[in-house]
Amino acid sequence: MLGGARRRARGALLAASGSAVAGPLERAARRSGARAGVALVYHRVGDPPGDLSRELLPALGSRLFAEQVRYLNDRYRLVPASRLLEAASERRTGDPFPVAITFDDDLRSHVVTAAPILARAGAPATFFLTGACLRGPHRFWWERLQEACDRGIDLSPLGIAGPGADVHELGRAVEALPARRIDELDAALRGLAGPDPEDAGLRAEHVAALAADGFEIGFHTRRHYPLLGLTAAALDAATAEGLAELEEAAGARLTTIAYPHGRADGRVAGAARAAGFGAGFTGAPGPVTPESDPLLLCRVSPSYASVGELAVDVALAVRSAVSR
């Protein structure tokens, strides 16, 4: 993880020169027979753009997102997440590398902002959803935590971090808690942040609309617990609970999963495989290659700053597969 100052310096440099650097990298990689692809993990797209320094999940501005999609569509072969490993394995010398655009969490911005931009570009994408808001508004703990922080509410009585902790420190502290404690904390945050706004999350009709527009729906688990700390029984429950309801809304079987908080290991992957999933995505950076475990596929986080930085990050992921 880069520190804030280093990340901003890298971002500024690559905003100016990233596309010029990435072009030759990507073209050189394309001349190789490397069998590789890249998955990207987006969250909220919308305006005004958010601020990574004080938001857990800031919005990526719609104009920047549209420019990133256009860049990826020009240089790479966009595929749904379920097809990425196969597309990487089939790649031949000279072919563009396959890239999967994916989204996590049940955000209204998926249907309002991201999907129309993707549709205009003719770009496929995969939305990993929990299904927690199919019937009514629902926010997850990090959204309530963000609101409480934005409103300047003192969270030290919750006992998760010392006074003066910023939203990122608080977020990391909550993620490290056992599932039962997260539920208790969520209830406390609900009291502090107030009721969920009417437009929070995706209803069944929104999921159906995404599917009808040709987008792929994947599973993100109903309760979004960090999976690494769960018992075997809780892990089996997490890969099954709410799945049928989300499949009904999507009108299709869901074969692809993205693990909450991007974290999984061999045990989590085994549970996902046993539950019938064919592809599983983490948040670990890196390329997808034929040697990847299909249930532990990497995803690269796209730049919040520029097309240039995204271009370099994708090209570097591809190049790392060439030099293996």
Which chain residues interact with Zn ion by CB under 5 A?
104-105
How many Å apart are CA 313 and CA 323, to the nearest integer? 16
For 81, half-sphere exposure in the C-beta direction (CA atoms, 13 angstrom radius) is: 35
Which residue's beta carbon is nearest to the bound Zn ion?
A: 104
| Alpha helices for 194-285 (secondary structure H) | 204-212, 232-238, 243-250, 266-274
> Which is nearest to 91 in space by CA: 79, 103, 102, 73?
79
145 in Cβ contact with 182 (< 8 Å): no
Q: Helix crossing, 243-250 with 204-212: angle to 10°?
A: 50
Nearer to Zn ion by C-beta: 105 or 196? 105
With a CB cutoff of 8 Å and minimum separation 6, the contacts of 314 are: 22, 26, 38, 40, 72, 76, 99, 300
Tokens describing residue 262: 């991007």
How many Å apart are CA 324 and CA 322, to the nearest integer? 6
Nearer to Zn ion by C-beta: 104 or 216? 104
Chain-centroid distance, C-alpha 14: 22
Nearer to Zn ion by C-beta: 167 or 321? 167
The least distance separating Zn ion from the CB of residue 198, rounded to whole angstroms, comes to: 22
Nearer to Zn ion by C-beta: 105 or 186? 105
The least distance separating Zn ion from the CB of residue 132, rounded to whole angstroms, comes to: 11
Nearer to Zn ion by C-beta: 76 or 225? 225
The least distance separating Zn ion from the CB of residue 261, rounded to whole angstroms, comes to: 7
The least distance separating Zn ion from the CB of residue 218, rounded to whole angstroms, comes to: 11
Nearer to Zn ion by C-beta: 272 or 318? 272
How many Å apart are CA 244 and CA 251, to the nearest integer? 10
The least distance separating Zn ion from the CB of residue 160, rounded to whole angstroms, comes to: 19
The least distance separating Zn ion from the CB of residue 153, rounded to whole angstroms, comes to: 23
